[in-house]
């Protein structure tokens, strides 16, 4: 890998997401050699992926080069590498560009879509965890409209314009709201020859309320917002299969659709070599103690989505969200410093800063630890918070200008089929 061994301890971090980057920032001031490995050369701001899928933002505005994040840190090395396996007994990682020895290893590889073993859903549905996937979805949505315009088969046209989103967490809700706004604001202008009333947006949820991680107040209000936008919300409906044409559920509800978007599950993106029931949870997350340390290997740590800090208070770990990942990254940086100074480690304490989701223009729900509010003010808070956490001044400016433009013009100008998507072509993921 062309990385010289120096006398300082070597810390290898797998993953330049929220957790890996926040750890890297703390370690930048320490006497250690840090090697960050990621299979992408950019940090992906996942909370805004749905805006890329729906033509609201260009992908470049939510991605940021990892090398640029690290360029002022003299003790850092970055390698574009896919980590294939960890060999914990010999303190090395095996990647597609070679082997690397470590003194300390931090696994911050995030999460991946969980299809719960249903290969038919996995093959036929769209997911939205990466930028290539968001671009695939953008292409497919636009290609559907182009095809709908051409076909004379009404059943086919209906299926092309029928969108089914499975999972009514923040991702599903935000995507449904954005598609509803496309139906209302863009379709009539772009496709005057198409009966845009045929476009249906269905949000399917197995439980009895949407945004179940948020307050009841937020759930109810978000559902009311969605209904106002014309989204069909199907609660207590569990999707059982999708063959690429028909979505079946546990009730008598079926959908004929060319597009099912799966936002109903995530699991840890664990890496081969970390195995066994005492190290890996049922949701494929790495089980760690309150210091983010693995049980059997005291020089290996896991942070962020892939880590399950198992304590009495958190038997299933912290939610797979940006804040726990950022806070764990910072705390581990602090703890690694203490470890190298021979001091005892300090336990991770999560500061819950609340949760939020936007449904569309002027419509958002915000649950803060002390206050809950919805509507226009919540929408401004949502925008401010997302701009604040976006990495890079240029990205913030571009996103801000885009949002102002889209707001004033009721528009989404990134509705481009740059790279046509052929269904079942999953090689870009
Ligand atoms: C569509 C969507 C919307 C979301 N919205 C919100 C939201 O509104 N609010 C919120 O708090 N959270 C949201 N989240 C969740 C949030 O993005 C995650 O919790 C957060 O990204 C976790 O950070 P992380 O560092 O653990 O993982 P990630 O940010 O996923 O980073 C993991 C990194 O590891 C790299 N990697 C993985 N495996 C390997 C490997 N084998 N070799 C090399 N590199 C590897 C990946 O390329 C990636 O860069 C959303 C997630 C999605 C998908």
What's the pTM value of the predicted model, to 2 decimals? 0.95
How many angstroms separate the CA atoms of 414 and 402, rounded? 10
Cβ of 40 below 6 Å from ligand 1: yes
pLDDT tens digit sequence for 352-365: 999 999 999 999 99
Q: From ligand 1's centre to the CA of 187, what distance in Å? A: 32
Q: How far is CA 205 from CA 13, 183, 211, 367, in A?
A: 36, 21, 9, 21
Q: Is the CB of 308 under 6 A from ligand 1?
A: no
Residue with tokens 């481009």: 416
Kindly give the number of the ligand 1 atom that is closest to the alpha carbon of 42. 49
Hey, what domains does the chain have and what are their CATH numbers? 10-39+81-113+267-340 (3.50.50.60), 119-264+361-409 (3.50.50.100)
C-alpha closest to that of 414 among 42, 53, 44: 53
CA angle, residues 291, 336, 94, in degrees to nearest 5? 90
Residue range 388-396: mean pLDDT, rounded: 94
User: How far is 30 from 361, CA to CA, in rounded Å?
Assistant: 45
Question: How does residue 227 score in pLDDT terms, banded at 50, 70 and 90?
Answer: very high
Query: In 3-state terms, what secondary structure has residue 303?
Result: coil
Annotated active-site positions, please?
A: 174
109 Cβ inside 6 Å of ligand 1: yes
Of how many residues is the chain composed?
429
Classify burial at 337, counting beta carbons within 10 Å of its beta carbon; exposed 0-12, middle 13-18, buried 19 or more. Answer: middle
Q: For the segment 169-224, what is each residue's pLDDT rounded down to a tens digit?
A: 999 999 999 999 999 999 999 999 999 899 999 999 999 999 999 999 999 999 99
CA of 194 to the centre of ligand 1 (A): 38
Q: Which residues of 403-413 are buried (b: 16+ CB within 10 A; e: fewer)?
A: beebeeeebbe
H-only helix segments in 191-321: 216-228
362 φψ region: left (φ > 0), alpha (ψ -120 to 50), beta (else):
left
In testing the pocket of ligand 1, which one of 15, 84, 134 has its CB within 8 Å of the most ligand atoms? 15
| The two three-digit tokens of residue 385, written as one number | 């918070």
Structural tokens at position 352: 């819950």
Out of 164-173, 375-384, 402-411, least confident range: 402-411
Strands 266-268 and 355-360, how do they pair? unpaired
Q: How does 164-175 read in b/e, with b if 16+ C-beta sit within 10 Å?
A: bbbbbbbbbbbb
Distance (angstroms) between ligand 1 centre and the Cα of 193 equals 40
Helices (H), 119-277: 119-124, 131-150, 154-160, 170-181, 187-190, 216-228
Please work out whether the CB of residue 134 comes within 6 Å of at least one atom of ligand 1: no
The β-bridge relationship of strands 33-38 and 76-80 is parallel
CA 242, CA 244: separation in Å to the nearest integer? 6
Residue 260 has pLDDT above 50, yes or no: yes
Looking at ligand 1, which atom is closest to the CA of residue 82? 42
pLDDT in tens, 112-135: 999 999 999 999 999 999 999 999
Q: In what order do the strands lie in the sheet with 92-95?
A: 83-87, 92-95, 98-101
Query: What is the helix (H) or strand (E) element at residue 191, kind and residue range?
Result: none
Cβ distance 327 to 350 under 8 Å?
A: yes
Tens-digit pLDDT profile for residues 36-59: 999 999 999 999 999 999 999 999
In the structure, how many helices (H) and strands (E) does the chain have? 12, 24
Over residues 230-242, mean pLDDT: 98
Is 300 within 8 Å of 286 (Cβ atoms)? no
96 CB near ligand 1 (under 6 Å)? no
Q: Which ligand 1 atom is the nearest neighbour of the CA of 48?
A: 3
Q: Please report, for residues 20, 146, 327, 387, 396, the alpha-carbon distance to residue 65 in angstroms, rounded to integers and kept in the order given.
A: 14, 34, 21, 17, 14
| Residue 114 Cα to ligand 1 middle (Å) | 14
Residue 181 CB neighbour total at 10 angstroms: 22
Cβ(171) – ligand 1 distance below 6 Å: yes
pLDDT of residue 367: 97
> What is the signed CA dihedral for 80, 304, 218, 247, rounded to 10 degrees?
60
Task: Give the residue, by CA position, lying nearest to ligand 1 atom 3.
Answer: 47
* Cβ of residue 360 lying under 6 Å from some atom of ligand 1: no
Average per-residue pLDDT for the chain = 95
Predicted confidence at residue 424, as pLDDT, reads 62
Ligand 1 pocket check: which of 66, 84, 106, 109 to mutate, most ligand atoms within 8 Å of Cβ?
109
Evaluate: CB of 327 within 6 angstroms of ligand 1: no
102 Cβ closer than 6 Å to some ligand 1 atom: no
**Rounded to whole angstroms, how far apart are CA atoms 177 and 360?**
5
pLDDT at residue 423 in the model: 72
pLDDT digits over 279-329, tens only?
999 999 999 999 999 999 999 999 999 999 999 999 999 999 999 999 999
pLDDT at residue 278, rounded to an integer: 93
Compute φ and ψ for 400, nearest 5 degrees: -60, -50
User: For residue 417, what are its two tokens?
Assistant: 């089929």
């Amino acid at each position: 890998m062309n990385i010289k061994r120096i006398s300082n301890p070597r810390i290898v971090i797998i993953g330049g997401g929220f957790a890996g980057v926040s750890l890297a920032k703390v370690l930048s001031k320490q006497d250690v050699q840090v090697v960050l490995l990621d299979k992408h050369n950019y940090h992906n701001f996942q909370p805004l992926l749905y805006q890329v899928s729906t033509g609201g933002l260009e992908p470049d505005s939510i991605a940021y080069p990892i090398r640029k994040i690290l360029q002022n840190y003299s003790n850092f090395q970055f390698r574009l590498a896919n980590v294939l396996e960890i060999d914990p007994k010999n303190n090395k990682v095996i990647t597609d560009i070679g082997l690397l020895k470590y003194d300390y290893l931090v696994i911050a590889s995030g999460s991946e879509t969980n299809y719960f073993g249903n290969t038919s859903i996995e093959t036929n549905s769209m997911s939205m965890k990466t930028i290539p996937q968001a671009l695939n979805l953008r292409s497919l949505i636009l290609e559907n409209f182009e095809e709908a315009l051409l076909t004379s088969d009404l059943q086919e046209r209906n299926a092309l314009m029928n969108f089914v989103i499975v999972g009514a967490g923040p991702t599903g809700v935000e995507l449904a709201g954005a598609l509803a706004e496309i139906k209302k604001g863009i379709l009539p202008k772009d496709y005057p020859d198409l009966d845009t009333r045929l476009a249906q947006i269905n949000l399917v949820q197995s439980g009895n309320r949407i945004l179940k991680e948020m307050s009841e107040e937020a759930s109810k209000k978000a559902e009311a917002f969605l209904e106002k936008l014309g989204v069909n919300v199907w609660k207590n409906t569990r999707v059982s299969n999708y063959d690429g044409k028909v979505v079946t559920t546990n009730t008598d509800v079926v959908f004929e659709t060319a597009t099912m978007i799966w936002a109903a599950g995530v699991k840890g993106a664990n890496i081969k070599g970390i195995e066994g029931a005492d190290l890996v949870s049922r949701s494929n997350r790495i089980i760690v103690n309150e210091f983010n340390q693995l049980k059997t290997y005291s020089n290996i740590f896991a942070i962020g989505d892939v880590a399950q800090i198992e304590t009495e208070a958190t038997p299933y770990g912290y939610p797979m969200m940006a804040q726990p990942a950022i806070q764990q990254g910072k705390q581990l940086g602090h703890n690694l410093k203490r470890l190298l100074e021979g001091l005892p480690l300090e336990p991770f304490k999560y500061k819950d800063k609340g949760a939020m989701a936007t449904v569309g223009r002027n419509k958002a729900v915000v649950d803060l630890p002390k206050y809950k509010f919805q509507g226009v003010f919540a929408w401004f808070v949502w925008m401010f918070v997302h701009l604040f956490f976006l990495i890079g001044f240029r990205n913030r400016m571009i996103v801000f200008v885009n949002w102002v433009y889209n707001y004033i013009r009721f528009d989404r100008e990134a509705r481009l089929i740059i790279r046509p998507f052929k269904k079942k072509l999953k090689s870009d993921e």
